Amino acid sequence: MAMNLAENIYQCLAKKNYTAYFYKGRGISSTTIIEQSKKIAQLLIESGVENRNRVLIFLDDTPDFITTFLAIMQIGAIPVPLNPMSKRQYIEHYFKDSGSNFIVCEARDYANISEVSLGIHANVRILIRDTYKAKPCDKSYLGSNNLSFNKVDCIKMSKVNSLKASEEFAKVSSGEAVYWQYTSGTTGNPKAVLHSVKGIIHSNECYAKQILNIGGDDCLYSTAKLFFGYGLGNSFFFPLMNNATAILDDRWPTIETIVENIQCYKPTVIFSVPVLYSKLLTHGETIHETVGKTCRYVSAGSPLPGKTYNSWKWQFGIEILDGIGATEMGHIYLTNRPGCSRSGVTGKPVEGYEVKIVSEDLENRNKRQGVLHVKGPSIALGYHNNEAESEQKFKDGWYRTGDVFTRNENGDYKYVGREDDLFKVKGRWVVPGKIEEFIVSNFPAVQEAVLSPATTDSGSVNSILYFVAHNDTKIQTDIDIKMHEYLRDVFESHYLPGRYCKLQALPRNDNGKIVRHLLGSRQTFS
């Protein structure tokens, strides 16, 4: 079966003229989204973008991201959303790995991206986003429309205003990728994940509609940005495919901007991550009073600590639905349900997905703990240009997640940790998540904690507990001693950290995920 996903979405949007997005206090209509997308499609065609070409998108969360993504799909090319704040080493990797020669970026990033492309001798065309933007591009490096900048051609997006809308729709078969997304790259260079049309449709039908009951009266707000798989579903596919409204904010989320957006737009569905839900607790009453009892709250990206879930539940009567997804699965495939969610539990599979636990040398005698494997309609087609990794992770219709889970008698799954994060001390397995959750739950002063292995001078392995604490002068100076006393009463000796290290912040990659190996690999015990 061949179809065009953009055409399908246009048909959804055309059912009625409504406010599809809120951006900077302005409503963007569904009609405007369709018209602008088709004009950008024409601009891409005239700029030489062809069917199956990859187009790298380095854009903030604005209406231009939405219309550009749709336009690329409309002409049969492949949109590749990326972090607009990516470091140069990653930009270079994306260029080389994707083979793309067409980029869409913010005006502020043009010089940096141009220099990277010239440095690797890539001949590219760059489309500058300059609509919804009062400040003009810096002419000292930009030049005029279509003016060659060495080997880099620059085009302004505002040129679409003089173009007619394209009505051409390239068909894409079910066995071809409709868009790519790169993994977070916590264990090496990011890998390009290839997504098909049927996966997106299934995630919308069985998660957005059946579990969250998203419809035309909803307003969605995602603190996760559009370049994430989580954010792309929340702010792109789910609102557009259900005639719902979504909130866009080009700023990186802070507690202040999140509360500001909630008070201004009053969303009915909020998508966020555990660390932000924890920090938002002090504003819980304000949020609850603003959006009322019918608002739905979703957490993903990392496990929701029981302490955070319980605090929202008992202080404000707010139920946060914890779930887990993966770039390779498109969106959430395992989740709690409204009305029956539980603290510290990830939940049950979304309809259409199968999961199984495979025990692999984890001292698992009862076969209820192991690496989770998942099968379902949204499973990726594989990795681009990485056959060995594809064969290892995708086998017989199953995706090997690398996440260690347990399963209880009720069929609920609980996240234990990443298999790569587990390590042995004195010949016995240590699951860092157990210590980390305990510390965060029992020490209010601690915001985040990471238990990481370290090698002693004798060559044996011990561990260091890294933690980030609130900037409060009242925090005890001997907090590490108190933590050790608590842990000693609860955990076996091989779990106890050999050292404690307070940090201002934990190391994170471009996608905001903690990079554990940057902690443990540098440390030794003397």
pLDDT digits (tens, 9 = 90+) for 450-459: 998 887 766 6
How many angstroms separate the most distant Cα atoms in the chain? 72
The kind and range of the H/E element at 276 are helix 274-280
Q: Which CATH number fits domain 2-17+26-173: 3.40.50.12780, 2.40.37.10, 3.90.45.10, 3.30.70.260?
A: 3.40.50.12780
Percent of the chain beyond pLDDT 90?
A: 64
| 26-52 average pLDDT score | 95
CA distances from 232 to 156, 175, 295, 400 (A): 24, 21, 20, 22
Confidence (pLDDT) at 160: 81
Fold matches, 2-17+26-173 and 196-419:
yes
Neighbouring-strand partners of residue 375 = 354
* Helices and strands in the chain, H and E counts: 17, 31
In 3D space, the residue among 352, 345, 460, 367 whose CA is nearest the CA of residue 414 turns out to be 345
Q: How many CA atoms lie within 13 A of 403 on its CB side?
A: 23
Instruction: Tell me yes or no: is domain 422-525 CATH 3.30.300.30.
Output: yes
CB-CB contact of 353 with 334 (8 Å)? yes
pLDDT digits (tens, 9 = 90+) for 269-302: 999 999 899 899 999 999 999 999 899 999 999 8
Percent of the chain beyond pLDDT 70?
A: 90
Assigned CATH for 196-419: 3.40.50.12780
Rounded Cα distance between 313 and 281, Å, is 11
Three-class secondary structure of residue 425 per DSSP: strand
pLDDT digits (tens, 9 = 90+) for 101-138: 999 999 999 999 999 988 887 788 999 987 765 333 33
pLDDT digits (tens, 9 = 90+) for 332-377: 999 999 999 999 899 999 999 999 999 865 444 445 789 999 999 9
CB-CB contact of 210 with 351 (8 Å)? yes
Domain boundaries along the sequence of the chain = 2-17+26-173, 196-419, 422-525
And the tokens for 322? 């914890």
Residue scoring higher pLDDT (417 or 231)? 231
Which band of pLDDT confidence, cut at 50, 70 and 90, is reported for residue 427?
Answer: confident
CB-CB contact of 226 with 235 (8 Å)? yes
**Starting at the edge strand that comes first in sequence, how are the strands of the sheet with 26-29 ordered?**
26-29, 19-23, 245-248, 219-222, 269-272, 296-299, 320-325, 332-335, 348-349
Instruction: Give me the chain's average pLDDT, please.
Output: 88
Confidence (pLDDT) at 155: 80
pLDDT at 140 over 80: no
Rounded Cα distance between 398 and 405, Å, is 16
Confidence (pLDDT) at 185: 64
Which band of pLDDT confidence, cut at 50, 70 and 90, is reported for residue 3?
Answer: confident
| pTM, full prediction | 0.87
pLDDT at 165 over 80: yes
DSSP for 103-125 reads EEEEGGGHHHHHHHHHHTT--EE
